Amino acid sequence: MSKGALPVYSIHTLKDTPLSPNEFVADHFAHYLEEHKNLHFPHKHSFYHLVYFSQGSGSHSIDFIHFPVAPGEIYFMAPGQVHSWYFDEQPNGYIVNFSEQYLHALIANPRYLDQFRFFSGKANEQVITIPEEGRQQIEQILETIVRESNSKEKLKDDFARTALVQLFIQVSRYTGKENDAQQHSYNSILFRNFQKLIDQHYKEKKLTKDYAAMLYVTPNHLNALSKDVTGHSAGELIRDRILLEAKRLLVNAKMTISEIALELDFADNSYFSKFFKKYEGITPEVFRKQIIKK
């Protein structure tokens, strides 16, 4: 990896031809890699992204968490996450990139994707292994998406959108997480709202009581809910989000440690460095050097 800024790719920069605001790309993965060799290095996406592996081996990382590459695995990413991959064996499968606006032409609900945990932005929820008996169906849906994305037939975009939604629903049935009743329970909705508030306010609000006030619950209630769902306190989730953003920013070698501390609303560089080392075991400078060497 070069010591320049971390690349942030839009769908437009990955495509040779101009695209509409409702951006969408679908392709066979081997062909996509051949066209975009630079994507082996850590980079960000400004769009939603998914890959299904039908063959290959190696590893890939989402927000610094590493996962093995294996046939039948599908992973999803939300905009802003850091990603890289390393292949030991030539991979193939399918890749789909789409903008936030892409589905709005078919689905009026702007929060439609919120119901799918694999778009949560939490890396451990974004990698799913499809059981062998379900892989043919998933591959058929993805083949339809690729075919329609390159078609000149009437209403091809709506056909592709419909198939994409079908893919999301089918994959969600393999996650085995929540049924509809659980997903729409008070506690489930409250916790998802807490996660969204963390993503929106983690820079300026670092205390559990701040989020409890916005959610009209007590800090004790929010802590109990957080521990019940994740095994971690509310404060730990807030802290982990700050650390994740710090790591994302540290990959960008053009930003100084002082600039990152300021971006994350720390009083000074020293306080930020002590915070980072306390929870990561190394200084921000050492973390940056380790990532750049990879």
Helix, strand, coil shares of the chain, percent, nearest 5, are: 50, 20, 30
* Phi, then psi, of 92 in degrees rounded to 5: -150, 170
pLDDT value at 52 more than 60: yes
**Mean pLDDT, range 268-276, rounded to an integer:** 95
140 and 277 share a domain? no
Provide the sign of the torsion angle of the four alpha carbons 50, 51, 57, 58, taken in this order: negative
Instruction: Give the C-alpha separation, 69 to 54, whole Å.
Output: 10
Return the amino acid letter for 60. H
Return the amino acid letter for 134. G
User: Which pLDDT value is given to residue 4?
Assistant: 45
- In a domain, residue 73? The reply is yes
245 and 104 share a domain? no
Domain count, the chain: 2
User: Which pLDDT value is given to residue 2?
Assistant: 41
Q: 0.85 exceeded by the pTM?
A: no
pLDDT, tens digit (0-9, with 9 covering 90-100), for 259-268: 999 999 999 9
60 and 106 share a domain? yes
Last residue of a domain, one of 175, 210, 238: 175
Do 234 and 226 touch, CB atoms closer than 8 A?
yes
Q: Which residues contact 157 (CB under 8 A, 6 or more apart)?
A: 22, 24, 105, 148
Of 224, 169, 155, 173, nearest to 194 (Cα)? 224
Average pLDDT over the chain, rounded to whole? 88
Two tokens, residue 24: 């969408």
Domain encompassing residue 201: 183-293
- In a domain, residue 1? The reply is no
Two tokens, residue 249: 């920013």
Three-state secondary-structure class, residue 54: strand
User: Which pLDDT value is given to residue 291?
Assistant: 81
pLDDT, tens digit (0-9, with 9 covering 90-100), for 112-134: 888 898 998 889 999 999 999 99
- Band of pLDDT at residue 17, cut at 50, 70 and 90: very low
Strands 82-98, 127-129: pairing kind: unpaired
pLDDT value at 104 more than 90: no
**Mean pLDDT, range 100-123, rounded to an integer:** 86
Instruction: Give the C-alpha separation, 156 to 285, whole Å.
Output: 49
147 and 12 share a domain? yes
* Phi, then psi, of 163 in degrees rounded to 5: -65, -35
We report the CATH number of the domain holding residue 254 as 1.10.10.60
pLDDT, tens digit (0-9, with 9 covering 90-100), for 151-179: 888 899 899 999 999 999 999 999 865 55
pLDDT value at 10 more than 80: no
